[in-house]
Amino acid sequence: MSYENSKELYLGFDLSTQQLKIIVTDDNLNHLNTYNVEFDSEFKKYGISKGVLTDESTGEILSPVNMWLDSINYVFDAMKKDGFPFEKVRGISGSAQQHGSVFWSNKANDLLGELDSSKDLSSQLDDAFTYKMSPNWQDHSTGKEIKEFEELVGGADNLAKITGSRAHYRFTGLQIRKLATRKNPKLYKETSRISLVSSFVASVLLGNITNIEEADACGMNLYDLNTNSHDDELLALSAGVGKIDKVSEDEKIKGIEELKSKLGDIKPITYKSDGLISSYFKNKYGFKDCKIYSFTGDNLATIISLPLNPNDILVSLGTSTTVLLITKNYNPSSQYHLFKHPTLPDHYMGMICYCNGSLAREKIRDAVNEKYGIEDKSWDKFNEILDKAKFDKKLGIYFPLGEIVPNASAQFKRSILEGNELKDVEQWDVENDVGSIVESQTLSCRLRTGPMISGSNKESTPTENSQHLHQIYDDLHEKFGDLYTDGKPQNFDSLTSRPNNIFYVGGASNNHSIIKKMGSILGANNKNYKVEIPNACALGGAYKASWGYFCEQKSDFVNFNQYLNDKFDFNDLDHFDVDDEWESYFEGAGMLAKMEQELKHD
Ligand code: ADP
Ligand code: XUL
């Protein structure tokens, strides 16, 4: 790879569970190169498997912090060997797995500032951490803390109202409480600063501990998205000085202040850099005046790899299904997550995670292939049936695994709508399952994205259509009564708001029959795109760095999407046409809402 023609370069990091990837872009957002290291193949000495250390008996899952330091040296060393022109790099940003935390000692800042460029990072930073491990997002050891956090505020929905999410094992506030109260209170006391993985990487590059970035801070169950500050009662609980800890008022106040100082201020969404790369990296690799822009979480960085606008949705059809969307509405629910958007002030990113995605569809495909004597794993028959499927008042729910949203145990449920009555069906021809699984998975997404995009969608819902929609809504109400999703009432706006653009990514987005059906049900007002962005979160990071640098040169805030659009031709993306069946699936949405209420729980 030759970088001769590029004057300015940007780096985008992606520190994920199993690898560190660094991609290189130029000032026109062209992706020039990718470097990476896989932890399992290079860092066996840490005893990891799939990047982590797992204790099945406690549900604890940890990542070694020194391994991450080694990975930074490893990838930069490989780039140096490759003749990479570090001096051309103007800015670095990136992403990291969300929720993980790094515990710094009081020696950390001195050690970070005095690094000797003839040595590697981990051997010099050993005393910089009070804890050599970082709780990983897959950790399941904080069941006790989940209850405590939700009870403090009167339930999961109330916690979501404050912090954008209900309590989850992996969220940082719970992990801190576990450490401070039952795992190692002494270690917690001795900790001088706590970073998220994203701010940890930025800190290492800067040579001093930098603040946590606001969008990623929303993954801690500590930050109040309404007031843009930490919630004192949640901080107290996290620090082990909450009501249930039965401490004096003085101890509580002291404990809150202590944790506030460990976390540092939260850095609001900005284009401004945190400073220049440290002399360690200048001397060792040849960086010059390279600016470090705040890092963010990997899902947050993914949405900025495309110029997504409010009401645009990104549907990731991997092993599981993840739906990311941009909204100006703060309409929290215990069943999904809301984070601040990392580059668009006053916008949010919504995130819905489903467990049953591709694997559930594969089960139906296999049953179809078995019936037709097809021996391979071909999707052809499945697709042929799906292409003909229309809504016919039959719907199934297919959860071979317990589901996150709706929260339900593993089960299958098939129903038929006869008149106004829903009737359960034990079994039907497997052909019915084909349309039905794609329909119900998509309708679940439609029911849950609706409240997030409602209201802000007014401009795009044609007014002449509104009477007609009111009629449909009234008919639906007559048939099913009040509809609830995850305990919250649906209303006219939430049921009739359409997304603007939809972007499909991930393995199953290669199946045109599936995404065409999904598109026809979700009913985008504008376009449906199929995109390949294998390095999405690293790319998002590199774009964030080049946008930050551009704004700093102009000393002005340039809208992030405007910046991307100026450089990036949207028409280059593959879009596809769909039959608009949005209206004919109102009844299906009603059916699914009712069926979900009857699902079994553990
Ligand atoms: P991961 O989430 O592990 O990164 P991918 O994004 O690669 O995974 O998606 C893998 C899933 O994509 C598989 O479970 C598979 O069922 C599904 N998939 C891949 N190609 C197709 C296809 N042509 N039709 C339907 N599903 C597909
Ligand atoms: C999001 C989450 C995961 C990690 C993966 O809440 O926990 O997506 O960010 O790296």
Domain residue ranges in the chain: 9-299, 337-343+353-527+576-596
Give residue-wise pLDDT tens across range 8-17: 999 999 999 9
534 C-alpha vs ligand 1 centroid, how far in Å? 13
What is the pLDDT, as a whole number, of residue 124?
98
Q: What is the 3-state secondary structure (H, E, C) of 159-177?
A: HHHHHCCCCCCCCHHHHHH
Contact 298 CB / ligand 2 (< 6 Å): yes
Q: Which residues contact 437 (CB under 8 A, 6 or more apart)?
A: 360, 361, 364, 396, 398
Mean pLDDT of 122-134: 98
Question: Which ligand minimizes its atom distance to the CA of 61?
Answer: 2
Contact 170 CB / ligand 2 (< 6 Å): yes
Cβ contact 245:181 at 8 Å? yes
Q: Which pLDDT band, with edges at 50, 70 and 90, does 2 fall under?
A: confident
Identical fold for domains 9-299 and 337-343+353-527+576-596, yes or no, is yes
Contact 451 CB / ligand 1 (< 6 Å): no
Which of 84, 4, 8 shows the shortest CA–CA distance to 290?
A: 8
Whole-angstrom distance, CA of residue 316 vs CA of residue 77 = 33
Alpha helices in 142-291 (DSSP H): 143-153, 156-163, 172-178, 185-190, 197-206, 214-217, 232-239, 249-263, 279-285
CA 167 to the chain's CA centroid: 15
ω into 406 cis (within 30 of 0): yes
- Per the rule left: phi > 0, alpha: psi between -120 and 50, beta: everything else, 95 is beta
Mean pLDDT of 467-475: 94
DSSP state letters, 318-346: SSSEEEEEEES-----TTSEEEE-SSSTT
SS3 content of the chain, % helix, strand, coil (to 5): 45, 20, 35
Give residue-wise pLDDT tens across range 508-553: 999 999 999 999 999 999 999 999 888 899 999 999 999 999 999 9
Contact 315 CB / ligand 1 (< 6 Å): no
Helix (H) or strand (E) holding 542: helix 536-554
What is the pLDDT, as a whole number, of residue 81?
97
- Per the rule left: phi > 0, alpha: psi between -120 and 50, beta: everything else, 99 is left
Contact 113 CB / ligand 1 (< 6 Å): no
In this structure, what token pair is assigned to residue 359? 């694997």
Contact 141 CB / ligand 2 (< 6 Å): no
Mean pLDDT of 257-275: 98
Pocket test for ligand 2, best of 298, 322, 323, 354 (most atoms within 8 A of CB): 298
Q: Which atom of ligand 2 is nearest to the CA of 138?
A: 7
216 C-alpha vs ligand 2 centroid, how far in Å? 11
In this structure, what token pair is assigned to residue 375? 């021996």
Pocket test for ligand 2, best of 99, 220, 323 (most atoms within 8 A of CB): 99
9-299 adopts what CATH topology? Answer: Nucleotidyltransferase; domain 5 (3.30.420)
What is the pLDDT, as a whole number, of residue 464?
61
Ligand 2, atom 7, lies closest to the CA of 137
Q: Which residue spans within 500-573 are E strands per DSSP?
A: 502-505, 528-530
Q: Is the pLDDT of residue 461 over 60?
A: no
Whole-angstrom distance, CA of residue 472 vs CA of residue 494 = 13
Contact 51 CB / ligand 2 (< 6 Å): no
Alpha helices in 44-155 (DSSP H): 65-81, 108-113, 121-124, 143-153
Ligand 1, atom 2, lies closest to the CA of 318
The CATH homologous superfamily of the domain defined by 337-343+353-527+576-596: ATPase, nucleotide binding domain (3.30.420.40)
Ligand 2, atom 5, lies closest to the CA of 97
Q: Which atom of ligand 2 is nearest to the CA of 96?
A: 10
Q: Is the four-CA dihedral 510, 541, 305, 332 of positive or negative sign?
A: positive
Ligand 2, atom 1, lies closest to the CA of 98
Please state, in angstroms and as integers, the Cα–Cα distance from residue 109 to each residue in 114, 115, 274, 291, 293, following that order.
9, 10, 15, 19, 19
Contact 362 CB / ligand 1 (< 6 Å): yes
511 C-alpha vs ligand 1 centroid, how far in Å? 9
Give residue-wise pLDDT tens across range 304-337: 999 999 999 999 999 999 999 999 999 999 999 9
Ligand 1, atom 4, lies closest to the CA of 318
Contact 97 CB / ligand 2 (< 6 Å): yes
Whole-angstrom distance, CA of residue 252 vs CA of residue 239 = 9
Q: Is the pLDDT of residue 302 over 60?
A: yes
